[in-house]
Amino acid sequence: MAIIRPFNGLRPTEDLAAKVAARPYDVLSSEEAKAAASGNPYSYYHVSKSEIDLPEGTDTHSKPVYDKAAENLHRMVQEGTLFLEPQAAYYIYKLVMNDRAQTGLVCVSAISDYNNGIIKKHEFTRPDKELDRINHIKTTKAQTGNVFLAYNDVPEVNALVDHWQEHNKPVYDFTAEDGIQHTIWVINTPAAIQDITTLFAEKVPCTYIADGHHRAASASLVQAAFEKEGKITSVDNPVNYFLTTIFPASQLAILDYNRVVKDLNGLSKEALLSRLDYDFTVEEIGHLPQQPSMLHEFSMYLDGRWYRLVAKEGTYTTDPIGILDVTILSNNILDKLLGIKDQRTDKRIDFVGGIRGLNELVKRVDSGEMKVAFALFPVTIQQLFDIADSGNVMPPKSTWFEPKLRDGLITHII
């Protein structure tokens, strides 16, 4: 069963929360972060993307970057921008995007649950990205990025969270520049804390990583290193836990994660369309973008035109991985026709989160940067659970969750 704990969160004063809050470090470039933090010394990008405060061209994975992150975090504490919660607490984090709300519980989850498979994964991680987060955690002595977990709804947990929201005032409530509303409550009474801890221990057999595989893996590796070095003297040591926000599955939405490819692997447009006809029903649909409306349907943009591709029977299997649209696309188009064997390393392919819309695919192709684009129907939360339960992993860049948690609102000090 799931082991979660309250913790003393490091968080901003109420008047500065909106200025501190920053998008996750891995969803924007250094240039975008620098622009977003311009004129704002309170921005958490000074911690999560600290290269913005160093000379242009600085290696983002170099020691000066991690040292600067630690320096900036210390400065924000010393100046009173951030303060440590006086007692261990849970936090409720509600996000509202386009009138759709999702509410999660901010806590620390046990590294042992991650290592033992109680916290289930659905993606591979890359050693270079793990090392980046390891160095950031060790240098700042903090977990600055939140791991987004999901679980099958427990009515008693939902009821407790709803009751707390109804009868208590939030500590933060603001709408960010992208229109997403962020509201946070602190749960700090011993009875409520005990009820939550017990409910998860008795009613939640497992949780699933929705977003943040590298943050979770890095926290585990840091804990292992500390243990090997004899730095952990108590099971309650903060390094035995990592920062998570856990959402009930019924409230979550997954957006599409689309692909753009630089060339047609030596094929002409006509040859590609002809070969696609073996595995797909192909229909030209014109100049206007059209989102796939169901599983196994794809939209392709090529040479100024959109096409609807519907996978034929026999092109996929019914196992948890084989039935995924990302698998169908990978096997029958990217690999078979375009020669892309490993999407994690092939430089001819790039990925576009659905939050950017289909017009971003048009832009990338019409600019000449890319030759062809593919839009997919989103993976369902149940498909994600099925794959994690089976012990399999999804192809890379299969899911895009929105809205995203903001960094800086709650940090876990280790």
What is the tens place of the pLDDT at every residue in 260-308? 999 999 999 999 999 999 999 999 998 888 899 999 999 999 999 999 9
Instruction: Identify whether residues 29 and 164 lie together within a single domain.
Output: yes
**Do 73 and 208 fall into the same domain?**
yes
Phi and psi of 349, rounded to 5°? -120, 145
The answer, yes or no, to whether residue 395 has pLDDT greater than 80, is no
Mean pLDDT value of segment 200-215: 93
Burial class (CB in 10 A: 0-12, 13-18, 19+), 380: middle
> Coil, helix or strand for 144?
coil
Q: Are 224 and 230 spatial neighbours (Cβ–Cβ below 8 Å)?
A: no
- Return the closest-CA partner of residue 379 out of 358, 396, 360: 396
Domain assignment of residue 388, yes or no: no
Is residue 107 domain-shared with residue 227, that is, in the same domain? yes
Q: Which helix (H) or strand (E) holds 102?
A: strand 100-110
**Is 90 exceeded by the pLDDT of residue 342?**
no
Q: Does one domain contain both 241 and 294? A: no
Residue 396's pLDDT is what?
A: 73
Amino acid letter, residue 9: G
**Which CATH number covers residue 264?**
3.30.1760
Q: Are the beta carbons of 261 and 253 closer than 8 angstroms?
A: no
Average pLDDT of the residues in 181-191: 97
Shared domain for 272 and 190, answered yes or no, is: no
Digit-coded pLDDT (tens) for 74-130: 999 999 999 999 999 999 999 999 889 999 999 999 999 999 999 999 888 888 889
When the pLDDT of each residue in the chain is averaged and rounded to a whole number, the result is 93
What is the pLDDT averaged over residues 54-63?
92
Q: Are residues 268 and 238 in the same domain?
A: no
Q: What is the extent of the structural domain holding 300?
A: 257-377
| Domain-located, residue 322 | yes
Quote the distance between the C-alpha of residue 126 and its chain's center.
15
Averaged pLDDT, 222-249: 92
Residue that wins the pLDDT comparison between 264 and 394: 264
Bridge-based pairing state of the strands 257-261 and 372-375: antiparallel
| Model pLDDT, residue 217 | 94
Angle subtended by helix axes 213-228 and 127-140, to nearest 10: 60
**H-helix or E-strand spanning residue 307:** strand 305-311
Q: Residue 284 has what pLDDT?
A: 94
41 domain residue, yes or no: yes
Q: What angle do CA 232, 235, 239 make, to 5 degrees?
A: 55
In angstroms, how far is CA 331 from the centroid of its own chain? 25
Q: Do 292 and 408 have their domain in common?
A: no
pLDDT (tens digit, 9 = 90+) per residue, 380-389? Answer: 888 889 888 8
Tokens describing residue 350: 């790039």
Indicate whether 165 and 59 sit together in one domain: yes
The two beta strands, 349-353 and 372-375, are unpaired
Given the structure tokens 């979550």, which residue do they identify? 252
Element (H, E) at 400: strand 400-401
pLDDT for residue 346: 86
Least Cα distance to 242 among 166, 146, 151 occurs for: 146
Please indicate, yes or no, whether residues 64 and 8 belong to a single structural domain of this protein.
yes
Residue 393 lies in a domain: no
What are the Cα distances from residue 231, in Å, to 216, 228, 374? 20, 8, 49
- At residue 402, the pLDDT reads 82
Residue in 345, 397, 408 with CA at minimum distance from that of residue 33: 408
Question: Which has the minimum average pLDDT: 33-37, 142-146, 390-394?
Answer: 390-394
Q: Residue 284 domain-assigned?
A: yes
- Residue 16 inside a domain? The answer is yes
pLDDT value of residue 339:
94
235: confidence class by pLDDT, cuts 50, 70, 90: confident
Say if CB 358 and CB 291 are below 8 A apart: yes
Q: Do 347 and 235 have their domain in common?
A: no
If you ran DSSP here, which 8-state letter would residue 369 be given? S
Statement to judge: residues 197 and 295 lie in one domain: no
Tell me if 386 is assigned to some domain: no
**Residues 290 and 333 occupy one common structural domain:** yes
Q: Assign 397 a pLDDT band (cuts: 50, 70, 90).
A: confident
Say how many CA atoms lie within 13 Å of 85 toward its Cβ: 21
Sheet strands (E) in 32-80? none
Cα(110)–Cα(218) distance, rounded to whole angstroms?
Answer: 13
Q: For residue 234, is it within any domain?
A: yes
DSSP summary character for residue 229: T
Q: What is the predicted pLDDT for the residue at 253?
A: 83
Ranges 267-281, 310-324, 335-349, most confident: 267-281
pLDDT at 160 over 90: yes
Domain count of the fold of the chain: 2
Q: What angle do CA 387, 225, 27 make, to 5 degrees?
A: 50
* Contact by Cβ (8 Å): 47, 408: yes
pLDDT at 364 over 90: yes
In this prediction, residue 21 has a pLDDT band, given cuts at 50, 70 and 90, of very high
DSSP-assigned states of every residue in 289-354: -----STTEEEEEETTEEEEEEEPTTSS-SSTTTTSHHHHHIIIIIITTT----TTT-TTEEEEEG
